[in-house]
Amino acid sequence: MSGLGGLNKSPKGVVLGLVQLQLPNVVTPDDLAAQTDRICQMVSKARRNMPSMDLVVFPEYSLHGLSMDTNPKIMCRIDGPEVQAFQAACRENRIWGCFSIMEYNPHGNPYNSGIIIDDQGELKLYYRKLHPWVPVEPWEPGNLGIPVCEGPNGSTLALIICHDGMFPEMARECAYKGAEIMIRTAGYTAPIRHSWQITNQANAFCNLIYTASVCMCGTDGTFDSMGEGMFVNFDGMPLVMGSHRPDEIITAELRPDLVREARRHWSVENNIYQFGHRGYVAVKGGAQDCPYTYMKDLVNESYRLPWEDEVIHTDGTSCGFDAPTRSYQGEELPTSVTRG
């Protein structure tokens, strides 16, 4: 937008910083505590780096690394010491923060969760990843839906995690609930680079929404994450593209008021509106039925592909995980969290 990536912030702007955090190795509780402290130090760095920054975003796996370790000793709780430390860092630096945790689940595998904390240390958004990157990831599928929250300077924020962004329905749900900025945190590695870029762009354009997306960066000696933070305008054009440098903070000023303006005034390609008002030139208000078989089947819990019986990978055994025996439990209300 304007202002040299937030250096000259406009009155209606929201300045975000995407942290291409160095990929860590976290094996023990001591490692977890050290990485928690490192993230808190990066919150302070972000504040020093750009006093106009409203929200600093950390990638998926920034706390736990890419080992896929489900050891209960290093899993977090939403009211645990790690989250409390993030709350304190946001409060002390007067900045909003978006963080990633692997969340202990007493009823099964851990959740891959994301949180947004405001500049007073209050938890504003709590999300559990709906689409783990199967068959590689062992995480329990999320059961909190896709929440949105009021963000800095009157913005409305949504958060999705990594593989979530490969499903166009995720960004559509964020926009449908009113989000003007969709954050996507990730731990992706280089083979996903092209898919990462085109989905971030398509998600923005198809929903008239800003996308702000960032991966882990660097190597842990086994995996190489790609960094490549990127901001995409609501017309699908990239605004800022990150590098491959670990710990670099990519910044941009976004204008939610321009999203609101476009959603009201665009005629052609106002896709988020036109999706539910097909052919409004021909019929009053447009057709508002659901012509999509897959949507009807999902609602009826009868989703089935024509090639369903031919799919090879339907559990995590190819990646060393035991085949699951538990069925999915539906949505639940978020746990109440007090200020840290």
Residue 332 lies in a domain: no
Confidence of residue 230 (pLDDT cuts 50, 70, 90): very high
pLDDT on residue 60: 98
In a domain, 82, yes or no: yes
Residue 162 annotated to the active site: yes
Residues 6+ apart with CB under 8 A from 295: none
Distance CA 289, CA 34 (A): 53
Q: Given the DSSP bridges, would you call strands 96-103 and 55-57 parallel, antiparallel or unpaired?
A: parallel
Give 88's contacts (C-beta < 8 A, 6+ positions apart): 40, 121, 340
Given a contact cutoff of 8 angstroms between Cβ atoms, the answer to whether 126 and 78 are in contact is: yes
* CATH value at residue 293: 3.60.110.10
Mean pLDDT, residues 27-38: 98
Confirm whether 328 is domain-assigned: no
Whole-number pLDDT of residue 280 = 98
Active-site residue 217, yes or no?
no
- Please tell me the predicted confidence (pLDDT) of residue 339: 37
- Local confidence band at 261 (pLDDT 50, 70, 90 cut-offs): very high
Can 129 be counted among the known catalytic residues? yes
Catalytic residue among 129, 140, 173, 215: 129
Q: Would the pLDDT of 295 be above 50? A: yes
- Does residue 286 belong to any structural domain of this protein? yes
Residue 171 lies in a domain: yes
Q: Which of 9, 40, 60, 180 is catalytic?
A: 60
Can you tell me whether residue 101 is helix, strand or coil? Answer: strand
Q: Is 14 contained in some domain?
A: yes
Q: How far apart are the C-alpha atoms of 297 and 70, rounded to whole Å?
A: 33
Annotated active-site residue in 40, 76, 98, 162: 162
Helix, strand, coil shares, percent, the chain, to 5: 30, 25, 45
Q: How confident is the model at residue 1 (pLDDT cuts 50, 70, 90)?
A: low
pLDDT class for 336, splitting at 50, 70, 90? very low
The residue-averaged pLDDT of 256-267 equals 98
Mean residue pLDDT of the chain comes to 95
Percent of the chain at pLDDT > 90 equals: 91
> pLDDT per residue over 94-106, tens digit each?
999 999 999 999 9
Structural domain containing residue 201:
4-319
- pLDDT computed for residue 340 by the predictor: 38
- Asked, for residue 298, whether it belongs to a domain, the answer is yes
Phi first, then psi: give them for residue 101, nearest 5 degrees.
-140, 150
Q: Is residue 230 part of a domain?
A: yes
Instruction: State how many domains the chain has.
Output: 1
